[in-house]
Amino acid sequence: MATELTPHAAMSLTEQLPVLQVLVPFMAAPLIVFLGSRGLAWILAFGTSAAAFVIAALLLGQVLDGSVISYHIGGWAPPLGIEYRIDAANAFVLLLVSGISAIVLPYARESVASEIPRRHHTLFYACYMLCLTGLLGVVATGDAFNVFVFLEISSLSTYVLIAQGSHRDKRALTAAYDYLIMGTIGATFFVIGLGMLYMATGTLNMADLADRIADQGANRTVVAAFGFIIVGMGLKAALYPLHLWLPNAYTYAPSVVTSFLAATATKVAIYVLLRFMFSVFQPTFLFEGNTLEFLIIPLAVLAMFAASVIAIFQTDMKRLLAYSSIAQIGYMLLGIGMLSQTGLTAAIVHLFNHGITKAALFMGVGALVFRAGGSFFDRIQGMGKTMPWTSAAIVLGGLSLIGVPGTAGFVSKWYLVQGALEKGWWPVAVLIVASSLLAVIYVWHIVETLYLKTPAKDIAVGEVPNSMLIPIWIMALACIYFGLATDITLGAAQAAAKGLLAGSSGMLH
Amino acid sequence: MPELIPTAFFFFAASLVLLAVPQGKARGALLLAVPLAAAWQVWSLPLGTFAQVEFFGFSLDLMRVDKLSRVFGLIFCLAAFLGNLYAWHVRDTVQQVAALLYAGSAIGAVFAGDLITLFFYWEGTAIASVFLIWARGTEGAYATGMRYLIIQIGSGVILLAGAILYHTETGSFAFEQMVLGSPATWLIFLSFGIKCAFPLLHNWLQDSYPAATVTGTVILSAFTTKLAVYALARGFAGTEILIYIGAVMTLFPIFFAEIENDLRRVLAYSLNNQLGFMVVGIGVGTEMALNGTASHAFAHILYKALLFMSVGAVLFRTGTSKASELGGLYRTMPLTTIFCLVGAASISAFPLFSGFVTKSLILDETAAEHYPVIWAVLVFASAGVLSHSGIKIPFFTFFAHDSGMRPKEAPTHMLLAMGLTAFLCVFIGVYPDPLYALLPYPVEFHPYTMSHVVGQLQLLCFALLAFGVLMRTGIHPPEIRAINLDTDWTYRRMAPSVIAIMAVGVSRIWTRWTRFGSSTITRMISGLYHSTGPEGRFAQTWPTGAMVLWIAILLGVTLILNFASHG
């Protein structure tokens, strides 16, 4: 339980970890621009990501027992000062985001070189660092307005990153534009919600907000704020039917960007939803409101099916995976909607497991694109023979996406089904299994294309360079590893779920 | 020491070693040695539970050896040996590995002490075996294999769902006797039923077995369905509904088998019918009935493999297994003919052949437990078996009209495999005591009593007669009218024609039903494609305004919901 709190007496480097988590990539971005060297840009970006990963791992180690780290920026005590607050839930997400970044970057070197003109490389990596900063900041901070600031940092850089796909396909520009409009509306809704909360409570610190909301109960302003925040963040999380920006953005963005965003951006949005639902507003608030039961759960189930069916019919593998992501987000929201320890554990574990699975798959497609020049099925068909290693990794990722036992995907679906059964929701459990069968179909579609068709004639033969292949395989093997050794993921997710369900008492200060 | 390694792992390890061994005699020897080593291990293991491992915090029992699992384990090893011997000439690594993995999974499933292990091996059999179908390399075999795979994997998924529910219900994954009633047990039952080819869940069997390679079919015929029989016997012994399911299973394939032209498909139907006997035995559920089921499964694997081997040898030499194209092969394939006849006699339960000593256990027990109607159905079905498997197969292949084909005798290794299997069929028939000693419960049974032998012979003789008449009438239609019909003859003649009419009727309804089903599905899929395909409404890129509209709608709904619920 969250009983122990580390006060701010930051004297050693270890105690500065929460702020370093965000500060390191934040400083790397301008440094890359100032140095202006292509070679150094990549090295700096990779080094930064690796450092962020180490920091995240250290932080997770400190809070895995259920304790909470409260870090006061500049020594200003909250609620006036900005507070960074690390517990199991966000340390776990920090680990995912920084880990994915550290593995995607080695892969990025060759992939970016082939998809983006050389003169844009330094700025690309700078934007990438800003995006990473934003995502880490959103997760690490304990200040509601700070969440908005970092959200905008990550969103703005994301629009730029997606638009970089225009060197290959001009539609990336409209995709980025659509996302810009949608994302801005989402962020605006979010900040409107925050404004209302501020109006009602006079504070922006999450823990403080939680207390004051608990004191004054649910009034119109607070309830409206809740609605705005849910919808705004739901959009960033691609909650069906607010997912419309996602397929194009993922399809036309450069492979590296897609791999990174698919594994992290929507997951961070889900985290924010969790944090606001459970820590700022309280579980009791959720129980009383019917939002989860009548809105989130039906939409989640709808997403599981509608998006999967759309994925089945796709002829572009990147797009197929994009729709599959929307379906998988449905699983996470369903887990949240259960409002139980098991359901939340399932959602948080799935957030992680789906992150690594999609990273493996999108990096795999990126490798195919590297050789085939496109991700349409008629371009990549038969590549199982010419690129056996990449294809095999894609198959592993696909198995995890389905949730075959022995893979990461199975663990989370197992808990999800368990959660449904605990609640006595038989039909939901059946629907989860049934929608997994749809995943079997679209994954089979991929396998069939890769292995049972003859390759197109004009395609460059051969595997991708090792610098791309190794990251892909690290992710693919991670899908297997976390399917067999579940201590880390489940341990962290259970601790996180417990903390979240404790509501504001999980936010001691 | 030997009990430390689960038997299935022999097969899995061998399939890896196999890759390092060059094609040819060495590899063939390895393929033969593994089942023998496994059989030796099963034979020498004491009864008990070994090889427990931890997984997800559950303890899995990889080796639960008791008398029921042992007899199935042994026959599976034996079947793997005979199948591999028969496939000595095959030089296809994929098939060899698939056969090993398939046999290993089936054996692993038999010894599984909990539902999770069972599930893993259950899916293992599905995935490994499909390669035996795909190995044929034709477009048709590919499609068939896909259908087969989807159904088999589906069965596994249902099993997993059932297992999870079972766990939430009882808090345990142990695979023990269950009582039908809760959704959990129904799901598990359904999963077993699919693999056991229950009526209306059976189509995968007749669809896929004839589509596999010559040697693949022999191996396929041994494991999947008998694994399901074992699972039913373990989990649902004495479940009454099984008696009726089994009775229907013995009956309906007869009609299809009677009109089918592809002999391997005829055998697939008769396999389905034989499973019915075992399922009835499980349904009756007394010690003796379970003995009957286990022993019948044992004998059945052998004689069914023998029949598939002999028809396979013909297919191997002539390139066809169609009744209408074959005939008169006894001239050049005398040994295959003899072996086929042994198999036919065994499946028809002639005294002195294996089917007789095992089937009568089930029949007697059905009568003793007061199911006279079921007993009558089984007797009728026995006559049907004789007609389509006992007579039709050897008659059309090796006798009947001369097709003019003069193929060479089957290769030596095939003859050896068939000879060995035929020997076992006769051995069990003549001297059943060793088999009886292996059965789960003590056996006090004497198959060779006067009433058994005479009763069975009567049945067989009349069935032979009926076939003779049918053949004559079939060949010389004008002559029938001249025959002076006694009441007895009317009955003998009417029965076959009634069967024929029913068969046509049943198949017509079936075709119409499947056609309706497939057209509905096609329409559904094209409808879905229309709406969610790449050009469809749901998958198009929407105008930005429409996306924004959705945000507005959702915000409205959320606010209304929240205002309403928070007052």
Half-sphere exposure for A238 (CA within 13 Å, toward CB): 30
Report the interhelical angle of B214-236 vs B67-86 (nearest 10°). 180
Q: How many angstroms separate the CA of residue B222 from the nearest CA in chain A? A: 27
For residue B154, the chain A residue with the least C-alpha distance is: A437
Mean pLDDT of all residues in A336-349: 92
Report the C-alpha gap between B396 and B323 in whole angstroms.
Answer: 6
Report the C-alpha gap between B308 and B218 in whole angstroms.
Answer: 6
| Contact between B278 and B55 (Cβ < 8 Å) | no
Report the C-alpha gap between A462 and A383 in whole angstroms.
Answer: 9
Q: What is the pLDDT at residue A359?
A: 95
Min mean pLDDT across A60-64, B285-289, B528-532 is at B528-532
| Contact between A2 and A502 (Cβ < 8 Å) | yes
Q: Which residues contact A74 (CB under 8 A, 6 or more apart)?
A: A81, A82
| Contact between B315 and B300 (Cβ < 8 Å) | no
Q: What residue spans define the domains of chain B?
A: 484-531, 533-566
Q: Is A141 helix (H, G, I), strand (E, B) or coil?
A: strand
Q: pTM to 2 decimals?
A: 0.69
Q: Which two tokens stand for residue B194?
A: 């699919």
Q: What is the pLDDT at residue A7?
A: 53
| Contact between A306 and B532 (Cβ < 8 Å) | yes
Q: What single-letter amino acid sits at A128?
A: Y
Give the residue, A354 or A11, on which the prediction is more confident. A354
Residue A52: how many other CB atoms lie within 10 Å: 28
Min mean pLDDT across A32-36, A332-336, B280-284, B382-386 is at B382-386
Mean pLDDT of all residues in A368-388: 87
Q: What single-letter amino acid sits at B371?
A: Y
Q: Which residue has the tokens 């395989």?
A: A473
B182 neighbourhood in chain A, CB within 8 Å: none
For residue A184, the chain B residue with the least C-alpha distance is: B548
Q: How many angstroms separate the CA of residue A178 from the nearest CA in chain B? A: 6
When mean pLDDT is compared over A439-443, B201-205, B387-391, B519-523, the highest value belongs to A439-443
Q: Say yes or no to pLDDT of B421 above 90.
A: yes
* A365 band by pLDDT with thresholds 50, 70 and 90: very high
Q: Say yes or no to pLDDT of A138 above 60.
A: yes
Q: How many angstroms separate the CA of residue B11 from the nearest CA in chain A? A: 20
pLDDT digits (tens, 9 = 90+) for A142-154: 999 999 999 999 9
Longest dimension (CA), chain B: 93
Mean pLDDT of all residues in B21-40: 89
Length of chain B: 567
- Judged by CB atoms closer than 8 Å, whether chains meet at A178 and B544 is answered as yes
Q: What is the pLDDT at residue A6?
A: 52
Give the residue, A347 or A285, on which the prediction is more confident. A347
Report the C-alpha gap between B37 and B44 in whole angstroms.
Answer: 11
Q: Say yes or no to pLDDT of B480 above 90.
A: no
Please name which of A240, A379, A231, A367 lies closest in space to residue A297, comparing C-alpha atoms: A240
* Chain B, window 42-61: residues with a beta carbon less than 8 angstroms from a chain A beta carbon: 56
Q: How many angstroms separate the CA of residue B56 from the nearest CA in chain A? A: 8
User: What count of CB pairs under 8 Å joins A to B?
Assistant: 118
Q: What is the DSSP string of A258-311?
A: HHHHHHHHHHHHHHHHHIIIIIIS-HHHHHHS-HIIIIIHHHHHHHHHHHHHHH
Q: What is the pLDDT at residue B368?
A: 87
Q: Is any Cβ of chain A less than 8 angstroms from the Cβ of B335?
A: no
**CA angle (A102, A107, A113) in 5-degree steps:** 125
Give chain B's radius of gyration (CA, Å).
Answer: 26
* Chain B, window 467-496: residues with a beta carbon less than 8 angstroms from a chain A beta carbon: none
Q: How many angstroms separate the CA of residue A145 from the nearest CA in chain B? A: 21
Q: Is any Cβ of chain A less than 8 angstroms from the Cβ of B532?
A: yes
Report the C-alpha gap between B157 and B389 in whole angstroms.
Answer: 34
* A187 band by pLDDT with thresholds 50, 70 and 90: very high
Q: Say yes or no to pLDDT of B493 above 60.
A: no
Q: Say yes or no to pLDDT of A4 above 70.
A: no
Distance set, CA A136 to CA A22, A153, A272 (Å)? 6, 11, 12
| Contact between A449 and A377 (Cβ < 8 Å) | yes
Min mean pLDDT across A278-287, A371-380, B313-322 is at A278-287
* A3 band by pLDDT with thresholds 50, 70 and 90: very low
Mean pLDDT of all residues in A353-368: 94
Q: Is any Cβ of chain A less than 8 angstroms from the Cβ of B431?
A: no
* A453 band by pLDDT with thresholds 50, 70 and 90: confident
* A300 band by pLDDT with thresholds 50, 70 and 90: very high
Report the C-alpha gap between B361 and A227 in whole angstroms.
Answer: 71
Burial B521-537 (b: 16+ CB within 10 A, else e): eeeeeeebeeebbeebe
| Contact between B358 and B296 (Cβ < 8 Å) | yes
State chain A's mean pLDDT as an integer: 89
Mean pLDDT of all residues in B502-521: 79
Min mean pLDDT across A244-248, A469-473, B401-405 is at B401-405
Mean pLDDT of all residues in A159-181: 92
Nearest residue, CB atoms, A185 vs list B183, B551, B566 = B551
* Chain B, window 171-190: residues with a beta carbon less than 8 angstroms from a chain A beta carbon: 183
ipTM of the complex, rounded to two decimals? 0.85
* A5 band by pLDDT with thresholds 50, 70 and 90: low
Nearest residue, CB atoms, A426 vs list B120, B183, B555 = B183
- Judged by CB atoms closer than 8 Å, whether chains meet at A440 and B555 is answered as no
pLDDT digits (tens, 9 = 90+) for A387-441: 889 999 999 999 999 988 889 999 999 899 989 988 888 889 889 988 988 998 8
Which DSSP symbol is given to B322?
B
- Judged by CB atoms closer than 8 Å, whether chains meet at A227 and B558 is answered as yes
Nearest residue, CB atoms, A405 vs list B120, B534, B557 = B120
B120 neighbourhood in chain A, CB within 8 Å: 405
- Judged by CB atoms closer than 8 Å, whether chains meet at A414 and B164 is answered as yes
Phi, psi dihedrals of residue B62, rounded to the nearest 5°: -80, -25
Which DSSP symbol is given to A14?
G
A220 neighbourhood in chain B, CB within 8 Å: 563
For chain A, give the percent of residues with pLDDT over 90.
56
Q: Say yes or no to pLDDT of B478 above 70.
A: no
Distance set, CA B474 to CA A215, B262, B337, B464 (Å)? 93, 18, 24, 15
pLDDT digits (tens, 9 = 90+) for A94-103: 999 999 999 9
Q: Is A381 helix (H, G, I), strand (E, B) or coil?
A: coil
Mean pLDDT of all residues in A118-132: 93
* B105 band by pLDDT with thresholds 50, 70 and 90: very high
Q: Is A6 helix (H, G, I), strand (E, B) or coil?
A: strand
**For chain A, first and last CA: distance in Å?**
14
Burial B226-260 (b: 16+ CB within 10 A, else e): bbbbbbbbbbbbbbeebbbbbbbbbbbbbbbbbeb
Report the C-alpha gap between B131 and B112 in whole angstroms.
Answer: 24
Please name which of A84, A448, A92 lies closest in space to residue A274, comparing C-alpha atoms: A92
Q: Say yes or no to pLDDT of B415 above 80.
A: yes
Q: Which two tokens stand for residue A346?
A: 């399932």
